[in-house]
Structure formats: structure tokens, C-alpha cells
Amino acid sequence: MQSEIFRTYSGQDILDIPEETYIPLINNILYKNDLVGVLGKYKSNKSILAMQMACAITSGKPFLKTYEVPEAGNVWFFSTEGKDNELKDRFLRMSKIIPVDFDKLVLICSTQLKFNSKTGQHSVDKIFERHHNKIPVAIFVDSMYSGFKGTLISDEHMNEFLTRIRGLAEMCDDAAVAITHHFNKESKDKDGNVIQQDTTNAYGSVFFMGQADHCFTIERCKKDERDRIIKCKAEDQRSGNIVESIRVRFKEPDPLYLDKIDMHTEEEDKITKVLKACKEGLSVTEIIKRTSLTKSLVYNVIGEMTTANKIKKLNGYNGKIVLVGSDD
């Protein structure tokens, strides 16, 4: 455990501060040292989304069979609401179809743990000591509301909560943190129609959105009640590398998981066309330039096409991309 809460630099030390590296835990979804929000209405499957991300990281298998996990890592999952056996049952039902390494997963269950309290901080210190051999690359808190002491609309309380969360991430070698949280009460327009909610409708202090590196929303699809739309709009992310929209289908009760639905037929055709014209392969940057598609959208479609074995990468993770069979 670190003994100081500050870092000092002077002279050459200032110049030697390492450049920030954007290390993917789940490509286009979650990166090292990120603070991420997962927002939605009650029963919009925020917890299922967080659990499935956690499973992907522990197993090293692609999230939603699309977004690559370069390396498997340990995960701490704080469940601050519900019962222990219910959480276990959810993970077991999910594991029937979603790969998970339970040896890399630490579940911390408590309805009493409030991160921004003395008791909560003492508990976190104990957890760190008990599981120091499984330092996580990602920490999930499900949910903020149940792990929070005080009023969520208080800037002071929110700042203290986020400071404690950031401190835990630093103790864990700058682990990423994803926090589930809910929207405020729905409102209607003058005609009585429900106004669609987004990240500006996160309940409580604006400090949360101000601190987050990016924020996902998850909502039910109006066209099909089984489907959910996961979004991270451009204005809700700092890096520009995060996928902007994913459509998934909620499968229940057994197995329990979110299944990605293909939404990008037109974009796939564009990428296929430019790859056919360049059989030696193209980098992602070149594909973006030649198709005029956004970076996050190209990464999204490339993930889908790779999973479907329509394209492949030459020379490893960062290699050029070619159509399957084009180099035969």
C-alpha cells in the first residue's frame, strides 16, 4: 500500500514524467486508469453490462464477441446492493455462454460499504491487504447510489466519493474504474411525451460527469423491448477512441447475457470495397481516411468483421488488415 498521497517532481524529474499511454483493457470500451460511468434507468441492465465487461477482462476473450481484450487481468467487482447468492447466480448463468475466469475475479458484497466514510475506507484497506496478490486492472462499483454516504446532489459529498474511488485505483496501479449509476426522474414535454434521457440526466452532482473520462448510457429500444442501445456520444468521451453506439439483445433467464446485434451493413460494405482495392492490406488509420467513417465506428465494424472471419490482421494486434483469402 502506498505511504504517500502525493507525487513531487523537480528539475529533470519533470521532463522525465512518462507520457500517458492509452492501454486498452477492452479495446474501444475501457482503458487503463479510466473512470467510466454506466448510466441508465432502473432495470435497464446496467449491472449485466458491467458484469459482462468484468467477465471479458478476466478471460481475455472479446467483449460482446467484438471488442478485443489484449490481455486477461484480475477484476474486483463491488456489489453494494442485493444478496450475495443472487450475484453468484447471475455470474453462473452468464458463465454458461460468456467466458469468465473465476480465479481472476474477486467479488466484494456489502450493502453497508460506503466508500466516502471512515468505515468504508477501513474496509477498502482490509480488502486491499487480503487480496494484494490479485491487484485488479479494473474495478467495478455496482452501484454508486448504494456505495455512497450522504446526498448525491452535494458537490462536497460527490467529490469525496470520487476522491476515495480515485485513491483506490491508484493503490491498484492505476486500475480502470467503472461505476453504475441511475438517471434522475423522467420528465415530459408540453405534449406529454417522455423526454429521452442522456448523461446530463445523471442523478446528483455534476461533479461525476465532470470527472468521468467517458460515460455509457444503456436504454431499452423502442422498436423491440428485448433490445438495448448502448451509447457513448462524442461529447461524453475524451479520447475519441470509444465506440459511439452498440445494439444488443438481452437474453434471459438462463443463460443471462447481452448479445450484440449487427447494425453496420452499409459501413461493412465500404470497408470491404477499400480492402478489395488494396490486397496488401491497410492500417486502421488508412481505412478511416479512405472510407471517411469515424474512428470509433471503423473500430466497431472491424471488430464485427474479424469475429465473422471476414477480415484478419497481419503480424499481430497492430498489423495491417486484409480480407480473408486475399493473401492466399
What are the residues facing 40 on neighbouring strands?
Answer: 182, 218
What is the C-alpha to C-alpha distance for residues 130 and 141, in angstroms, rounded to an integer? 18
Give the 3-state DSSP-derived string for 132-170, with helices as H, strands as E and coil as C.
HHHCCCEEEEECCHHHCCCCCCCHHHHHHHHHHHHHHHH
Residues 32, 99: Cα–Cα separation, whole Å? 21
CA dihedral 176, 182, 184, 188 (to 10 degrees): 120
**C-alpha triplet 79, 84, 86: angle, nearest 5°:** 100
- Which residues make Cβ contacts (< 8 Å) with residue 132, sequence separation at least 6? none
**Cβ pair 323, 268 in contact under 8 A:** no
Model confidence, pTM: 0.78
CB 111 within 8 A of CB 81: yes
Domains contained in the chain, CATH given = 12-261 (3.40.50.300), 265-323 (1.10.10.10)
User: Is there a contact between 286 and 233 (Cβ–Cβ < 8 Å)?
Assistant: no
Is residue 70 reached through a cis peptide bond, with omega within 30 degrees of 0 on the bond before it? no
Residue 36 exposed, middle or buried by CB count within 10 Å (0-12, 13-18, 19+): buried
N-terminal to C-terminal alpha carbon distance within the chain: 53
Q: What is the pLDDT along the chain (328 residues), one digit of tens a residue?
A: 445 667 788 888 888 877 666 799 999 999 999 999 999 988 899 999 999 999 999 999 999 999 999 999 999 999 998 899 999 999 999 999 999 999 999 999 999 999 999 999 999 999 999 999 999 999 999 989 899 998 888 889 989 999 999 999 999 999 999 999 987 666 666 666 665 666 666 667 677 878 899 999 999 888 788 899 999 988 888 887 898 889 999 999 999 999 998 777 788 889 999 999 988 899 989 999 999 998 888 888 888 888 778 898 887 656 789 998 765 5
Distance CA 116, CA 165 (A): 9
**What is the rounded distance in angstroms from the CA atom of residue 173 to the CA atom of residue 209?**
23
